[in-house]
Chains A and B, each alone.
Chain A
Amino acid sequence: MINWLASPARFTRISAKALPWCGWASAAVLAVGLYWSLVVAPPDYQQGDTVRIMFIHVPAAWMALNVYLFVAVASAVALVWRHPLAEVAARAAAPIGAAFTFVCLATGSLWGRPMWGTWWVWDARLTSVLILFFLYLGYIALVNAFDDPARGGKAGSVLALVGVVNLPIIKFSVDWWNTLHQPASVMRIGGPKIDVSMLAPLLIMAAGFSLLFLTLLMLRMRTILNERKAVALRLNIGAPPEQRRARERAVPAHPGVG
């Protein structure tokens, strides 16, 4: 599947068809999820209505981790097999992951204030997620720091792979250093320890965030491909005719991606 999609031309064609469907599906699922989170789900017997923050905080945290894993795997594929789309995918995904990480941190802070009595503590979980946020920002800054996208991509890929050590630290931080953040109650051995009335909106929101990620990923990948094609064409305009013809064969005319 990944191999088959790795041709930029095929990606452009398929994503053009998939984009509107994915976009509308994510909007619909998120609307249902929001209604369920804010209206249908009951308040918690201990935490009251603050538990509703969980329905965005926890899925955002899952996305923060999974998108980073996606960036790292795409970076590895780009480094090892030099797939033309892998580096584009990693580059396109990083800002989306950074946004989810920011949402996770901000909503966590707004949840921590009433429940823990503080906006922020240097607890292991909170600190490692903050590091994840900085890893995303570092990656974005690095890939854009070079004029040559190939060099920027390579430097960024290395950073993304080094940062992978942070992922198990985040995942197990709540078990290794049992300080303030509570341990997992959904992704745990022995099944979820949470009532269906709260698990359902949680999973719907997670599905909505995943669809949103897919939509924005395709959109941003198409943008990067367009921008690279434009750079190639611009180089071509100033070139002598025989060189231009050679380049035109290499870069096929592009219908403009909508």
Chain B
Amino acid sequence: MGDIATFLAMGGYAGFVWPAYGVALAVLVGLAANSWWRNRQSIIALERLQQPHRTTR
């Protein structure tokens, strides 16, 4: 328990180290999620448009 507390305290700089990692994680994960979601949307839109062209199944 003491070990984890020491780790989390970051030598007294917890208030700077953790927000720095938090910001980086939030921005990069947010960007990745946005990229993935936009890609899904583009696939769905494209498939919907190509549907009426398929006459044979």
Contacts and interface: CB of A to CB of B under 8 A. Distances in A.
Contact of A49 (B13, B32, B46): B13
Interface of A: 34, 38-39, 43, 48-50, 52-53, 56-57, 60, 95-96, 99, 102-103, 106-107, 110-111, 113-114, 212, 215-216, 219-220, 222-223, 226-227, 229-230, 233-234, 237, 248, 253-254, 256-258
B5 interface: no
Contacts of B43: 226, 256-258
Q: How large is the interface on B (under 10, 10 to 19, 20 to 34, 35 or more residues)?
A: 20 to 34
Contacts of A222: 39, 42
A216 B49 contact: no
B17 A219 contact: no
Contacts of A48: 11-13
B21 A227 contact: no
A33 B17 CA distance: 15
A204 B1 CA distance: 29
B38 to A, nearest CB: 5
Majority-rule SS of B interface residues: helix
B28 A230 contact: no
B35 interface: yes
Contacts of A52: 10, 17, 21
Majority-rule SS of A interface residues: helix
Contacts of A215: 32
B38 A223 contact: yes
B24 A56 contact: yes
Contact of B35 (A50, A216, A230, A257): A216
Given A53-B20, A229-B46, A256-B46, A114 B27 contact: no
Given A226-B39, A256-B46, A113 B20 contact: no
Contact of B49 (A34, A56, A230, A248): A230
Nearest to A95: B31
Contacts of B2: none
A234 B48 CA distance: 11
A254 B36 CA distance: 19
A197 B42 CA distance: 44
A149 B6 CA distance: 54
